[in-house]
Amino acid sequence: MSNHLNRRAAFQRLSTMAVALGAARVLPARAQAYPSRAITLVVPYTPGGTTDNIVRAIQNKLSEQLGQPVIIENRPGASGNVGNRSVARAAPDGYTIGIMPTTVGTFTLMAQNLGYDPMEDLTYIGGVAETPSIIIVRKDSPVRSFADLVAMARTRSGGINVGSGGVGGAGHLVILTLGKLNNFPVTHVAYKGTAPAVNDLLGGNIDAASMAIGGVKGQVDGGVVRPVLVASVKRNPLLRDVPVMEDMGMKGVNGGVGYVLAVSSKTPREIVERLHGALDRVLQDKEVVERMQSLSFVPTRTTLPEARKMVEEQTTTWAPIIKDLGLKLE
């Protein structure tokens, strides 16, 4: 009887060990199997803008690293929240990822029901790029400097109309902050991305635009638009003649914005790490670095915790300004 019990106990221990070993093999196998098909990369704004330019700079190399096609899908609307929400609600299998500005966390300060929580429903895979915001006017505008823009706003009934890529983005927050600090009236006009804002600027429908440099570098280089202010602390090496905030007496104001990749927060850790590793290698690729720099983007490699911190820091930075201005998503 005793021998029988001993054999039974030994069998149970072996069975338990077999299950444990099997489970240990399952997780790496899942990571190795991923990805087995195309991956959708959601851009929450229209084609041709800042965010779209970034993903097109990394698309091919990211596909090479993952061994599967990376398909860009533009889903604009609600200041980027249509696309962001679709990523947060996607199946947590790593086949739907999204690129988002690091201001994504500020949306919870401006709306009670986004349909997702940027800090709870998303896992940030890694930083991608950073770039400062810029204030531009048409080449035929009488405005030759930021001081001219302020003077126009103060003398014109109703002030000036300034467009950006959407409510709550860096471009929006920067121009309203500038208006408050310099005491001039400004009406913000929100678009579904930087490209339509630039089109309306060139069409004479708005007086100026506030957006990331990376979305209008081509128009600036081509002389189609004129930059009058870079919303950063230090001068941009590609726009050395354009004044920055501190040159205008606005010390400590930085309107730069970063971009991160994200997936549903329920995505398995090993898939998140696979994506992070692929992204990190892409951002070290010489061709990608040169392409980004030519568009005024700075490649931004981070760890997983650092990517989340980028979003948290932007939320903390802009929270008092959003509250003070009473900004709300429509």
15 assigned to some structural domain: no
In a domain, 6, yes or no: no
User: Looking at residue 173, which CATH number applies to its domain?
Assistant: 3.40.190.10
**Of 197, 224, 248, the domain-final residue:** 248
Query: 190 Cβ partners below 8 Å, 6+ apart?
Result: 79, 163, 164, 165, 166, 167, 172, 330
What is the per-residue pLDDT across 308-329, written as a single tens digit (0 to 9) for each?
999 999 999 889 989 988 888 7
Bridge partner residues of 160 (DSSP)? 186
Q: What is the token pair recorded at 108?
A: 């919870």
> Are residues 151 and 86 part of one domain?
no
CATH number assigned to the domain comprising residue 275 = 3.40.190.150
pLDDT (tens digit, 9 = 90+) per residue, 46-66? Answer: 998 889 999 999 999 999 999
- Single residue among 248, 275, 299 that ends a domain in this structure: 248
| 23 band by pLDDT with thresholds 50, 70 and 90 | very low
- Same domain membership, residue 317 and residue 304: yes
pLDDT tens, 153-176?
A: 999 998 999 999 888 888 898 898
Domains held by the chain: number: 2
The pLDDT score that the predictor gives to residue 167 is: 86
CB of 175 closer than 8 Å to CB of 231: no
Q: Do residue 264 and residue 126 come from a single domain? A: yes
Q: Are residues 163 and 309 in the same domain?
A: no
Q: Are residues 123 and 138 in the same domain?
A: no
Same-domain check for residues 233 and 213: yes
- Residue ranges making up the domain that contains 115: 34-130+258-325
- C-alpha span between 98 and 84 (Å, rounded): 7
Residues in CB range of 163: below 8 A, 6 or more apart: 188, 189, 190, 191, 197, 200, 201, 206, 208, 209, 210
116/139 same-domain check? no
146 and 205 both lie in a single domain: yes
CA 14, 20, 24, 30 dihedral sign is: positive
Please tell me the total number of residues recorded for the chain in this structure: 330
Can you say whether residue 75 is alpha, beta or left, with left for phi > 0 and alpha for psi between -120 and 50 degrees?
Answer: beta
Same structural domain, 138 and 205? yes
pLDDT at 16 over 80: no
169-225 pLDDT, tens digit per residue, is: 888 988 988 898 889 999 999 998 888 999 999 999 999 999 988 888 889 999 999
Q: Is residue 7 part of a domain?
A: no
Cβ neighbours of 254 (radius 10 Å): 18
Structure tokens at 264: 């549903």
Whether residue 233 is predicted with pLDDT greater than 80 in this model: the reply is no
Q: Are residues 122 and 137 in the same domain?
A: no
Domain assignment present for residue 38? The answer is: yes
In a domain, 3, yes or no: no
Structure tokens at 223: 């002389």
Q: Are strands 160-164 and 298-299 parallel, antiparallel or unpaired?
A: unpaired
State whether 154 and 202 are in the same domain: yes
Tens digit of pLDDT for each residue in 259-286?
999 999 999 999 999 999 999 999 999 9
State residue 21's pLDDT score: 43
**How far does Cα 99 stand from its chain's mean position?**
6
Q: For residue 135, give both structure tokens.
A: 């204030």
Query: Burial code of 39-76, b = ≥16 C-beta within 10 A, e = fewer?
Result: bbbbbbbbebbbbbbbbbbbbebbbebbebebeeebbb
Query: Distance between CA 292 and CA 9 in Å, rounded?
Result: 62
Residue 296: the pLDDT is: 85
Mean pLDDT of the chain, nearest integer? 88
| The domain boundary residue, chosen from 217, 248, 279 | 248
Is residue 24 assigned to a domain?
no
- The arithmetic mean of pLDDT across residues 150-154, rounded, is 96
Q: Where residue 330 falls among pLDDT bands split at 50, 70, 90?
A: low
Q: What is the pLDDT of residue 27?
A: 44
